[in-house]
Every structure is written in structure tokens, then in C-alpha cells.
């Protein structure tokens, strides 16, 4: 069994059935395709999160892991869709009813009930992680309303971990399926550190579209602070000005170094536990960060050389 194909196949089948049930007017083919691409659909890290830890939970079968992964992806779909609907973001030019998110949520819960319906200890943890997510979303909206925009690195990290908190539902499910009394704290903390690491990386990749959309990431705020001496406050820097500060002012390198350090923290938290797939994934992330850092350094040197030449 290929876990990727199993999880993707079940999601695709669910959205196909959902579309047939609701009709094309409620969920078009384009909108269904966009739904399938949500929540890191191409990301093996999130799509197959349970499979990174199976060595720690020998009583969990591969089929149960697929079910946990599938439910986890649907849960993330539901949260992502809810967030998009609140923000008024269309899918391929067509808006999707917020009510569809409720159906996705029910499907995810039904899968979890089939696996853990008799495990009373699991459900408070699911609620706890959902609360962490909601708290982070509310805090992020409050933060984005600040003018001038400003927030601390500590706030950034809490938001990053909180917005990914529902990923820890899969870790809790694995623990209880294996007969544990509580989830493994070290895994949850390692996942939080990874979430911050990947958030930093994504902010660097997405800063231009975020800025155009009026979303102020921590990276953008730091760049705006450094641009401030050249603007009178009413004058917003252009994206190109911001880009020069990010790439030539060292912010990109600083962000990638922080992302690397958080991945290292995630590694340290699971040292000796015996989850080689998770360790390998974190090392791959660090390699990705290092490669981008090297590429940006070369581009920076090339750009500085061109500026210096007559």
C-alpha cells in the first residue's frame, strides 16, 4: 500500500461524492480542485504525518495510520476553508459556501469516531488543539489590525505553533490507538518547533504576495521598520524597496537561520526516541533552508558586484 496514494485517493473520492451530493451549483469542478489543493496537499510532511512516527507506536496498523492521516487532512481542509470563507477569498473566481466546511468537519470526526469512539481520553485533546488553533486565528486578526503593524518574535512563534496545532490531533490519535494514557509531550513540542520553522520559511517565500494582500508577517514588519527612516509614515514602501531590505539587508539570511535553529530544536526534542522518518524529514528541511540561503547569498553578491561596476 502506497500511503500517499491511499490518502489522496480517499480525499479525492470524498470531494467527488460531496460534489455529486450537493450539485455543481454548490461546489463546481474548479472549486473542488482548489479544495483538494488546500492544506499542503503536495506536502508529504502534513499529508503523511502519522507515518513519520509509526516506529514509536507498534500497535498502530498501516490502515489505521492511513485513516488518521486522511482525517487529519480533512480537518486541515475544514480549517483552511473556514479561514478562506471568513476572509472572502474565492476559489478560482467562485465562492464556496461556509456550510461545506461543516460537512468536511463531520467527515473528519466520523473517521476519528470509527477509530477512537470508545477512547474517552482522546476527545479532550482534540478539543484542546482546536482551541489552540482558534486562539491563534483570533490573535492573528487582532495583530493584523494594529497600525502601525508591530509584533514580537514571541507572538510570531505562538501564532505559528497555534495555527498548526490541529496537526497534533494525529499524534494524539496514534498514542491512544497504541494504548497510551496521554500523548507524547516530546512529539508535540517537536511538532510545534517544526511548525515555527516551516512558518518562517513560508513567510520568506510568500512575503511579496502577503504584502500585496495587506498581510503583515513578522518578516514584513521587520523590513518596514528598517525602511522607516526613508519614509514619512504616510508613504508605504514599494514591494521592490521591501525586497531590497529583505535580501540585501540580511533579513532573508536571518529568517533562514532561525528556521534552521527551530528545526534543530525539533530534532533535539526527539533525540533518542527512535523516530528516524521524522528525523530524516527535519534534516531535509534544514538542507532546503541551507540551499536557499546559499542561492540568495550568491544572488546578493552578484547584485552588489553589478552595482559596484561602472
Number of other CB atoms surrounding residue 233 within 10 Å: 7
What pLDDT score was predicted for residue 101? 83
Task: Kindly state whether residue 65 falls inside one of the protein's structural domains.
Answer: no
Confidence at residue 157, expressed as pLDDT on a 0 to 100 scale: 97
- Tell me which of 191 and 236 has the higher pLDDT: 191
DSSP 208-238: HHHHHTT---HHHHHHHHHHGGGS-SSSPPP
- Residue written as grid cell 502506497: 2
Percent of the chain surpassing pLDDT 70: 84
Q: How far apart are CA 278 and CA 51, in angstroms?
A: 9
What is the per-residue burial (b if ≥16 Cβ within 10 Å, else e) of 168-180? bbbbbbbbbbbee
Distance of alpha carbon 61 from the chain centroid: 26
The domain of 304 spans 184-310
Asked if residue 263 lies in contact with residue 286, where contact means CB atoms within 8 angstroms, the answer is yes
Our count of domains for the chain comes to 1
* Residue 276 belongs to a domain: yes
215 or 85: which carries more pLDDT confidence? 215
> Is 310 a domain residue?
yes
269 in a structural domain: yes
pLDDT digits (tens, 9 = 90+) for 151-187: 899 999 999 999 999 999 999 999 999 999 999 999 9
**Residue 308: predicted pLDDT:** 60
Q: What values do phi and psi take at 34, rounded to 5?
A: -65, -40
pLDDT computed for residue 233 by the predictor: 56
What's the pLDDT tens digit per position in 94-118?
Answer: 555 667 888 999 999 999 999 999 9
In this prediction, residue 142 carries a pLDDT of 92
Flag whether 279 is in a domain.
yes
In 3D, which of 217, 222, 221 has the Cα closest to residue 202?
217
**Structure confidence at residue 41 as a pLDDT band (50, 70, 90):** very low
Q: Before 148, cis peptide (omega within 30)?
A: yes
Query: Binning pLDDT at 50, 70 and 90, where does residue 29 land?
Result: low
Instruction: Tell whether 257 is covered by a domain.
Output: yes
User: Cα separation of 275 and 52, whole Å?
Assistant: 7
Q: Are 137 and 163 in contact (CB under 8 A)?
A: yes
Confidence of residue 280 (pLDDT cuts 50, 70, 90): very high
Q: How confident is the model at residue 89 (pLDDT cuts 50, 70, 90)?
A: low
Q: Which residues contact 275 (CB under 8 A, 6 or more apart)?
A: 52, 53, 55, 56, 187
Residue with cell 503583515: 216
Is the CB of residue 36 less than 8 Å from the CB of residue 12? yes
| pLDDT average, residue stretch 44-52 | 84
Q: Would you say residue 254 lies in a domain?
A: yes
Question: What value does the mean pLDDT of the chain take?
Answer: 87
Chain segment 200-245, per-residue pLDDT in tens: 999 999 999 999 988 899 999 999 998 876 655 557 889 999 999 9
**How far, rounded to the nearest angstrom, does the alpha carbon of residue 35 sit from its chain's CA centroid?**
15
Domain contains 235: yes
Amino acid at each position: 500500500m502506497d500511503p500517499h496514494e491511499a490518502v489522496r485517493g480517499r480525499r479525492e473520492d470524498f470531494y467527488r461524492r460531496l460534489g455529486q451530493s450537493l450539485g455543481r451549483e454548490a461546489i463546481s469542478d474548479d472549486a473542488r480542485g482548489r479544495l483538494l489543493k488546500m492544506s499542503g496537499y503536495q506536502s508529504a510532511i502534513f499529508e503523511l504525518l502519522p507515518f513519520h512516527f509509526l516506529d514509536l507506536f507498534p500497535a498502530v496498523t498501516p490502515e489505521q495510520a492511513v485513516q488518521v492521516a486522511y482525517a487529519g487532512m480533512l480537518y486541515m481542509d475544514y480549517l483552511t476553508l473556514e479561514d478562506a470563507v471568513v476572509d472572502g477569498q474565492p476559489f478560482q473566481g467562485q465562492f464556496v459556501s461556509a456550510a461545506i466546511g461543516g460537512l468536511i468537519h463531520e467527515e473528519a470526526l466520523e473517521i476519528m469516531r470509527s477509530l477512537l469512539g470508545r477512547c474517552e481520553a482522546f476527545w479532550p485533546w482534540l478539543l484542546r488543539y482546536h482551541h489552540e488553533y482558534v486562539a491563534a486565528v483570533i490573535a492573528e486578526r487582532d495583530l493584523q489590525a494594529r497600525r502601525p503593524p508591530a509584533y514580537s518574535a514571541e507572538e510570531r512563534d505562538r501564532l505559528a505553533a497555534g495555527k498548526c496545532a490541529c496537526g497534533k490531533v494525529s499524534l494524539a490519535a496514534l498514542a491512544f490507538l497504541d494504548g497510551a494514557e496521554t500523548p507524547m509531550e516530546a512529539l508535540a513540542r517537536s511538532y510545534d518547533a517544526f511548525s515555527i520553522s516551516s512558518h518562517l520559511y513560508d513567510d520568506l517565500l510568500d512575503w511579496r504576495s502577503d504584502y500585496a494582500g495587506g498581510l503583515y508577517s513578522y518578516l514584513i514588519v521587520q523590513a518596514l521598520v528598517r525602511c522607516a527612516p526613508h519614509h514619512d509614515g504616510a508613504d508605504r514602501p514599494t514591494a521592490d524597496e521591501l525586497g531590497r531590505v529583505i535580501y540585501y539587508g540580511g533579513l532573508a539570511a536571518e529568517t533562514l537561520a532561525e528556521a534552521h535553529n527551530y528545526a534543530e530544536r525539533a530534532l533535539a526534542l526527539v533525540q533518542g526516541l527512535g523516530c528516524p522518518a521524522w528525523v530524516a524529514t527535519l534534516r531535509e528541511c534544514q538542507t532546503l533552508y541551507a540551499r536557499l540561503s546559499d542561492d540568495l547569498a550568491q544572488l546578493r553578491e552578484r547584485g552588489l558586484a553589478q552595482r559596484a561596476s561602472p
